Structure 1
């Protein structure tokens, strides 16, 4: 009996061994069937620890080659592309990818990859594009990058890479796109940077810690387009003259560095506004208001040589005393003349401007005839005689302002809109220049100095997405603010159409995203980089203006404070109180349409304080995003459902309604943009959190949208 059991056990053991051998043979055969490129890709898969979207679900090792796998593209049965954008992959980059001899493109953007760039990766010498932005990669760029002679696109932005840029980078002669922004790169740019990379079409080095001087050969990059971005670094020294050799259509951004000396005025640098140079306190010369020192001591050289000798010295003394007496007499006469001219001018202007502005509502395109008649009787030198008068004069806030008060008053004017803060006019000068002029209304003259200080501070805020205040005028009866005219109306009209019957075409998602980014950039600048880290406090679509290419311009920044100082808006404070009481439902004060619009965009904490905060602006921005996504008017929604737009979105989410129910129907025609729309929707919902501390900063919002837009 025991003998039989023993034989039986031996047989079972042999069968089990045979079975395991057969299974192992099958697995070995399967692996053997897969070529070397497939094995290299399986190593890459093994380096990924999380794959939440199942990107590698069909990576079957039983295939002869990996050409049918997700994310893999082949040509002639050889792997030429690996693409896994926005798949939330967590892991590292396997060095085995460098063994793919035919590899041309790697796109792993917007994942969660960490670790360093493996040296072996750069053995794939046929690589043409390496896109790894939006990860958590660290370490430095290996010098082996110089082996990639065919590389055309290198985007490593939004990582945590460190070290200096290797000199070998300039061996990539065919490079067209170089984007290294938002890292921690240090050191100076490689020698020969401009000559070696003269095929570049896109260059972005912003938000690093690069230092040293900008190479003198930078002007050899003759194919650059868009923005050459050197901003937010530590570059020092002079701005190279060769910048002027770049194509004139290139916008050169040198903001927030340590550059010094005069700004060259040649080629591409001519007629650049101050926006491109802010944040460099040691720069001087146009277009900045800081004059450059000419190397002469403050007192300057003597006007005349010293003459020694008693007789001559006496003559000089007499001549000096006589000249002083003459100067005093001339000054007294001038002051008297100025006073007379100023009084005459004030009387004429007060009479004419009152007539002109009162008639403007019903008579567009009429000249200010009364002012013409009044000014024609004045001496031609009256403009120069009013330069030293504090009030009753047009005060430019920009050295490029070439018009004067006379030209402004002679211009044709059209009413653009009215509000409790005042009337806005479109003014067209004789030379065709168009301006927007806001009349703050009548008020006292006791707070002129305060108004002057505030308006000049607002005038210093310059950003492409903020409407520029060019000049102002103050008198007892009139206070005027003169802005750039933005031609495409406001955002509210672009979303919902105008009240007047005109053709209306809904905006595409790309245009809406562009507007969102523009508003975010402007607010981020106000919050983070403006001199006083300002707050807007009254952000809504009505004061988001759209430029010729649908770029966003934030308007009315600082307006409420200026209006209060000018005395032209006594309703601002009472309106805020009325809004608070209306929301608390224990007031009989009527809610005006203006108050209702404000209510829709105000943060919840606005009911507790009259002082806006940056988080208040973030909330208003979030409501605007929801409006752009849904196409719904917050005011109309409040009228029909007694529910503001934020609560309506929260209701739809709780009810688990499909995305199509909350989207603007026009966006339903772009199903391929659904992922991007959802990403922006998440950002907007973060912005409208009830608790201010739970809302992101505008810098975080801007970075999020920039990453999203870069993936378009």
Structure 2
């Protein structure tokens, strides 16, 4: 993380204050220029001036707390702490350290992340910085206990990750003093003793991972009631005993696998476990559980593998049936009655009559359903509806489920395909690491939210979350997303992986560091600072976007149409190289059950323009997307390659003029294309059209005018008169770029 260090200034102390620090002589001294103290005074002042700056740069308290951790490190094979120097003004530039001013102007340490560094150390008993929010020391060789004093002062701690070390001793009860704790991962250590009840005070806890330790005893009473925010729970490979808490069914936010396997839990499986979300997989293997397996909710229709290793369990889906005495739903007449008498009584006349009646009722219901389906299928033919009957047959067959021929696979048939799907061998992280990563919202649109996701090893990705819903079109989604991933070009953002589940669809891309082209041209909304792009950078971006769009149109596997090209969808890298993003996104959103490639406001604007019904509050084409949409958008919502050419032409005009199409619409009721054409018709000087920052570069004005001509060709009202992107690319490449 790049942080700007504050500059500390030194103010020379007043001379009287310096003299006042000297001892007062006990007798008067004769006035003489040769007095020893008078001769030494300049030297003392010089030493004081030299000493004071050093004092102002003394290491902060946060840095001293981190140096206490460094002092406890016995081995640092990778040199992870080599730049931790006490002579620094603050620790914000140290490896693994992140700081934040948080509006106070004073930078404080908020994160310490040193995973997989091979550090051999005991954790110091001194307190961590009070401002610390995230501590990640996973996969090192830390040993000894987790000192309570280490975490007691960091009351704002959000995540504590000590996975895969050699720590032992009890889990500190002081964890309960961390009210903001959201992630606690102590897995793969040797912690022992019971889980302290104080952990229930961490009511914001979202992930609790304690797997592969030596923890014993029962879970604290109220575990499910107090920790209702949990989304991840892994207690496997410990020695927890006693019964599984009845209130565990309150954990309605759980996701993935609830892993209680390889423990000593005993007693019956609480029926409340069935109240967990049905998408959650519950692993109860290798415990001491007994009794019948409840058949409700999340426990229903589970395979036997979720319950193996519990000899006392019985009933479906296991093969060993439950005896009447072990089934709480079957009355027991007592042990005194002979087994033969109980069987005889259980199969009395009343029971036999009930069984027969239930069979008859079941057969009648099946017959009625079959008759209803048959009637729905043939009724259109009786009404003489001809060709329409075929479509109604198909629909009725699908509704009833008994005449369907082309039904897609059920979610259970596709279950093995759900999850994180890697599309590039360079992707080294898994779903667990992705879910544990820090995420920051980059932007929102009608299609979904885009996050900046920082993984524990420092890798940064961009993750787009699509709309929820829709499982029946998984194969279509899979085919489409894999085709998009095959599009590789230096000016197109690469899709690296995707995630598909019952209610979550994610697309994982490369993260592009310098933001969008829109921000580069106009600055961030709400800020006054803007560094204008020089002409060389603008021309480089124009050429790169043209090259990427030409590749999409001519050489990609499906000869894609972007359909939503605008400056917000052009991202800039470290050297201002452009990357086109979000192509093919509209179709993916439709398949996934989210919004289409047009926002609701765009659709409303198009429909109003079609019907010529102006709205007093909304001018035609005033929506943000419509500024870049070709005129034929008024007649059709299906984009074409010529539509992309028009959008690219508007972007060229925006980069040449420095004017925002949206602002022009709002202030002059004229879009950017109309404004440029108006300036040409009125024979305005080029300085009125060009960005004021570019207007003074007379040596490059010929290139700017050449690009302006290309842009005007691209925004022709007639699609047939627009050039292809390949031709545009070749024209721009012929322009010379001075070094």
TM-score by length of 1: 0.46
Structure with larger Rg: 2
